[in-house]
Structure 1
Amino acid sequence: MKSTKGWTEVAKRPTQLLLVDGRPLFRENVMQLLAYEPDIAVAGQFANLSEARRALTTQNVDLVLLDYDPENEVGPILLETLARLQHVPRFLLLTAGMEVAELHRALDAGVSGVVLKHGEPRQLLHAIRAVAQGNQWWDESALRQGSTPTNRNAEGSHPSITARQRQILHHILDGLSNKEIGTVVGVSETAVKASIQELFHKTGVRTRGQLVRVALEGHFEDWLKPHG
């Protein structure tokens, strides 16, 4: 469950967002949703990533809300676009569901999160703010709509994690900060940091982003089962 708290500070400069989606009606609905959010400003809207390239190279964009359609080869286009940018924004994908192979391609392209396209508007706002602030956001309901994942580390070790670590990992995917996780779980921020460090040690990573990637790619079934 995503947290409904934690967005108490409004940045002095609104998050500059590019909206990239092929359906005009959907873009209009998102524009109407964001019109009432003072901390998010739509810098432009485009039908596809190719059309948005000029804006990405000429404007100081913070975040791109991008419709993900595997038939449009978003991954290769995204990689090519990122290679040309001096200032690289964060990318949040809108999707009706992703196969695991598509998820891997999105991660390789540098995407920061995935959100269900037809989910609740409040969820979309939380996802935008989380990614804009440098966190990850992975809507598990969107990721589970694909086929059963295969474990990239099938021949390697399978480190187990505790119920508390699994709970914290889910909240990391929800885009919560350490302080917010502590509030939700009912432990101190120090305890949350300690659990995350244990997860880093078990997976051999150093950052939250690397931890998310390992969990999604290699431990989808055992670590990311529904909890509660």
Structure 2
Amino acid sequence: MTRILLADDHTILRDGIRALLSADADLDVVGEASNGAEVLAILETTPADVVLMDVQMPVLDGFATMPELRSRFPEVRVLVLTMLDHENYVARMLEAGALGYVLKNAAISEITYAIRTVAAGNPFLCTEIGLSMLYKAVSHPTGPSITTDGMAISTGSDLTARELEVLKLIAEGMTNGEISDKLFTSKRTIETHRQNIIAKTQAKNTAALIKLAVSRGLIS
């Protein structure tokens, strides 16, 4: 029996995963947490084999949780389940000690396989992440750079159509809330797009993002 602790700040997502995992007799959800601090507190009294954890969480996010978790509970395996698909996030979480990385759009069969793989002490990357990283390794993309305030940033040639749309609205001065209303999606989704844009372009401020949008012809 593999004991699992779910960590995600969305109750409805935790409920859904728990329901889906209940179909497997050898998988047992022993606890739920909405942030990293709760994960650490629960593990003090509730043994678990795998923590299925998001990166974006309040109070203590995945990045901040990993060092404490690895130090205090080295026997517990961590499988990341997130919307963040850029290799920078994958690399940071794996370097911090996570053993696997799965996107939330993965099939439940892939998620359960990932849980069993990580529980056995083996690394796992979901198919979408693996293929994306393989494609980039084979194609060796080297996009041009622009410089703003002495800082070089990528022109973001690998931005998705939705990320380009969000970038344009950011450059126009709109807040995450205003963008979510305009695009009829959640504020959390816009925050994820914004983090992906920052990771892909390596832009450190809004001015850099605006200059990028200008360079792409998104705004004049």
TM superposition score normalised by structure 1:
0.53
Counterpart contact for 1:115–1:139, Cα < 8 Å: yes
Q: Do 2:36 and 2:61's aligned partners in 1 also have CA atoms closer than 8 Å?
A: no
Change (3 A) 1:73 1:52: closer
1:50 alignment partner in structure 2: 37
SS in 2 for 1:122: helix
Q: State the 1:96 CA deviation.
A: 1.7
Distance 1:70 1:52 in 2: 11
Which stretches of structure 1, 4 residues or longer, exceed 6 Å deviation after superposition? none
Figure out how many residues of one structure are paired with residues of the other and give that number: 136
Aligned-partner Cα distance in 2 for 1:69–1:145: 21
Matches within 5 A, 1:117-132: 117-132=104-119
Pick closer, same or farther for the CA change 1:35–1:93 going to 2, 3 Å.
Answer: same
C-alpha displacement of 1:76: 2.5
Amino acid across the alignment from 1:74 = G
Q: Which letter does structure 1 place at the counterpart of 2:120?
A: Q
Which residue among 45, 55, 67 is the counterpart of 1:79? Answer: 67
Query: In the alignment, residue 69 of structure 2 is paired with which amino acid?
Result: T
Choose 1 or 2 for highest CA Rg: 2
Looking at structure 1, the residues matched to 103 and 39 of structure 2 have their Cα atoms a distance apart, in angstroms, of: 22
Q: What RMSD, in angstroms, separates the aligned Cα atoms of the two structures?
A: 2.6
For the 8 Å contact 2:100–2:118, the answer to whether it is kept is: yes
Higher relative CO (Cα under 8 Å, sequence separation at least 6) belongs to 1
Residue aligning to 2:46: 59
Give the Cα–Cα distance (whole angstroms) in 1 for the partners of residues 57 and 11 of structure 2. Answer: 19
CA offsets 1:182-205 (integer angstroms, 9 cap, x no match): xxxxxxxxxxxxxxxxxxxxxxxx
Q: Return closer, same or farther for 1:95/1:143 CA change in 2, 3 Å cut-off.
A: farther
Change (3 A) 1:83 1:35: same
Alignment correspondent of 2:9: 22
1:90 partnered with 2:77: yes
Contact map agreement 2:8 2:35 (CA 8 A) in 1: yes
Are the aligned partners of 2:67 and 2:96 in contact in 1 as well (CA < 8 Å)?
Answer: yes
Q: Is the 8 A contact 1:70 1:102 kept in 2?
A: no
TM-score, scaled relative to structure 2 = 0.55
Within the candidate set 90, 108, 111, 2:98 is matched to 111
User: Does the 8 Å CA contact 1:20/1:66 hold for their aligned counterparts?
Assistant: yes
Structure 1, gaps ≥5 residues long: 1-13, 151-228
Paired AA for residue 39 in structure 1: D
Q: Give the match for residue 124 of structure 2.
A: 137
Letter in 2 for 1:44: G
- Paired residue secondary structure (1:107): helix
CA offset at residue 31 of structure 1?
0.8
Residues 155-170 of structure 1 aligned to structure 2 (within 5 Å)? none
Contact 1:91 1:113 survives alignment (8 Å): yes
Counterpart CA distance in 2 for 1:70 and 1:55 is: 16
8 Å CA contact retained: 2:2, 2:50: yes
